[in-house]
């Protein structure tokens, strides 16, 4: 199927790109506003097509309801930076503190709120590249950063996301991800993901301890140390909801670690399958693989109670906390302020930041 383009909001230049594989097993809608993944359409065990990602029907909703970052590209720095400041090459940079005392997801106007330039790379497989140039000083960050993000839909029902960034004039920090929320029941069958069955594979070494502001303390906790955080070994298939009431911060919002170090461009690393999730109601499965050293598991703990799902594909049902989960490939949160991790996120002139993640969909009874 060819890549198609439709106009979502002509006055603001917002377009929607549809990427469908030839097998008819995966269709993804991407907006040039924020690089947002608006729809992910896959068949369930009965052949009924379900939209398994959270979002909105209209551009206006995306601009007015911003706190959940539904489906957006996150940058310049995904996740939290403690107290909204970091020091690089002897200069201290102050950023917006938009999450309590901390900086979150690039600030007040991050990459999820920008209009990206779109280039169609291929019709088969359907693939598009989004480009954004962030000027020196944007949201307080140094350096002119050029970012390219490539979305590709494969015949194997996979959504591949590849990130590349360079800085042309000053060293800076970078940590890019996508903030898609998944509900493998398609929301209409169940507006919560608490019954989803989860496996974190043996490739994942453990997770990072968090302080009260949900920033890493710097302490690594190996898999198997704390049972509530464990979805591996004897706990494979445990649901999100089984122990969520015992987890810090109203639910899972934790960085899990695949390896302890990372080069600036991780695309030379093998894709590591880190997480598998299944909805018992639809049989739809998700496999998540990444070249990155870590990922954030987030169970939508702070989705506002007043939000509703898309009318177009999810009947506009009421949603709220735990309506979806995120698997955000990343470097470690607050890495700029941790000596052991800062090398993961510093990008210098002449170097390239890169990573790749793949979300694979299927069905299992």
Binding residues for beta-D-galactose: 79-80, 179-181, 253
Residue 59 DSSP code:
H
Question: How far is it, in rounded angstroms, from Cα 334 to Cα 82?
Answer: 6
Which residues face 91 on adjacent strands?
Answer: 88
Q: Find, among 128, 203, 153, the residue nearest to 28 by Cα.
A: 153
Q: Find, among 200, 362, 196, 359, the residue nearest to 280 by Cα.
A: 196
Report the Cα–Cα distance between both ends of the chain, in Å, rounded: 28
DSSP assignment string, 211-257: -TTS-EEEEEEETTSSGGG--SGGGTT-BTTSSGGGSGGGS-EEEEE
Tokens 């990343």: give the residue. Answer: 330
- Cite the annotated binding site by residue number: 79-80, 179-181, 253
Three-class SS of residue 1?
coil
- Residue 145 burial (CB count, 10 A): 27
Three-class SS of residue 271?
coil
Annotated active-site positions, please? Answer: 179, 328
Q: Which two tokens stand for residue 91?
A: 């200069």
108: left (phi over 0), alpha (psi -120 to 50) or beta: alpha
Could you tell me the maximum CA-CA distance found in the chain, to the nearest angstrom?
59
Residue 96, preceding peptide bond in cis (omega within 30° of 0): no
**What is the chain's alpha carbon radius of gyration, rounded to the nearest angstrom?**
19
Residue 208 DSSP code:
E
How many CA atoms, within 13 angstroms, populate the side-chain half-sphere of residue 267? 12
Q: Find, among 318, 320, 317, 322, the residue nearest to 305 by Cα.
A: 320
């Amino acid at each position: 199927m060819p890549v198609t383009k439709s106009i979502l909001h002509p006055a603001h230049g917002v377009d929607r790109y549809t990427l469908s594989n030839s097998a008819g097993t995966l269709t993804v809608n991407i907006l040039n506003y924020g690089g947002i993944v608006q729809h992910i359409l896959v068949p369930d065990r009965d052949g009924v097509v379900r939209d398994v990602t959270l979002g909105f029907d209209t551009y206006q909703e995306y601009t007015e309801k911003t706190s959940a970052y539904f489906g957006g590209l996150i940058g310049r720095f995904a996740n939290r930076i403690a107290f909204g400041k970091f020091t690089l090459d002897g200069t201290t940079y102050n950023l917006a503190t938009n999450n309590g005392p901390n900086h979150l997801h690039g600030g007040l106007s991050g990459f999820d709120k920008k209009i990206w330039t779109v280039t169609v790379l291929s019709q088969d497989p359907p693939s598009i590249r989004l480009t954004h140039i962030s000027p020196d000083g944007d949201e307080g960050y140094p350096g002119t950063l050029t970012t390219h993000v490539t979305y590709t839909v494969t015949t194997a029902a996979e959504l591949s996301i590849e990130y590349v960034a360079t800085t042309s004039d000053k060293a800076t920090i970078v940590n890019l991800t996508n903030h898609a929320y998944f509900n493998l029941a398609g929301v209409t069958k169940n507006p919560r993901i608490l019954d989803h069955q989860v496996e974190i594979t043996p490739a994942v070494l453990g997770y990072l301890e968090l302080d009260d502001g949900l920033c890493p303390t710097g302490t690594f906790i190996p898999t198997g140390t704390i049972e509530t955080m464990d979805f591996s070994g004897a706990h494979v298939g445990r649901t999100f909801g089984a122990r969520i009431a015992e987890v810090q911060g109203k639910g899972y919002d934790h960085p899990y670690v695949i390896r302890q170090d990372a080069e600036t461009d991780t695309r030379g690393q093998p894709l590591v399958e880190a997480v598998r999730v299944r909805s018992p109601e639809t049989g739809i499965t998700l496999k998540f693989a990444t070249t990155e050293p870590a990922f954030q598991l987030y169970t939508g703990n702070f989705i506002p109670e007043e939000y509703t799902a898309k009318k177009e594909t999810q009947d506009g049902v009421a949603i709220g906390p735990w309506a979806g989960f995120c698997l955000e490939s990343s470097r470690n949160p607050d890495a700029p302020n941790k000596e052991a991790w800062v090398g993961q996120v510093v990008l210098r002139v002449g170097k390239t930041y890169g990573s790749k993640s793949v979300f694979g969909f299927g069905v299992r009874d």
